[in-house]
Amino acid sequence: MIDESRPIFLQIAERIENDIVSGALAEEAQVPSTNEFAAFYRINPATAAKGVNRLVEDGILYKRRGIGMFVAAGARERLLARHREDFARQYVQPLVQEARKLGIGAGQLTDMIKHSYTATQDLTEGSVAQ
């Protein structure tokens, strides 16, 4: 489950973020402790704490003294906004640049995306129905 090519503390922070975005961790829900992460991943508790503390610094988690860490109010929306910005930078901007190189206009690109989105949605719904 650990990707050896990336820092473990970042992976722990990303796992918590993904759980918040997916709804697996709701606002005000308690997150696993650093000791639980350390035991699960078989890592040093300080490494797990580094990932959790990163989210505290970002305002995604907050600490209840003597109880543990909890998901902050508004954390999901902040994460969604950040993920959307990352998506635009990583995928949409390169797509638009490539479309321009190929002479594809905004309308044609929009039609291509709509068609692809619908086709992908139909495939997903078809696999759910089976």
Residues 45-68 have pLDDT tens digits of 999 999 999 999 999 999 999 999
- Nearest Cα neighbor of 21 from 75, 93, 64 is 75
**pLDDT at residue 118, as a whole number:** 87
Q: What percent of the chain has pLDDT over 70?
A: 92
Q: What percent of the chain has pLDDT over 90?
A: 82
**pLDDT at residue 19, as a whole number:** 96
In CATH, the number for domain 8-73 is 1.10.10.10
**pLDDT at residue 3, as a whole number:** 74
- Nearest Cα neighbor of 79 from 96, 114, 54, 48 is 54
Count the residues in the chain. 130
**pLDDT at residue 2, as a whole number:** 72
Written as one string, the DSSP assignment of the chain is: ---TTS-HHHHHHHHHHHHHHHTSS-TTPBPPPHHHHHHHHT--HHHHHHHHHHHHHTTSEEEETTTEEEEPTTHHHHHHHHHHHHHIIIIIHHHHHHHHHTT--HHHHHHHHHHHHHHHHHHHHHHHH-
Average model confidence (pLDDT) across the chain = 91
Q: What is the pLDDT of residues 87-128, one digit of tens each?
A: 999 999 999 999 999 999 999 999 999 998 888 766 666 654
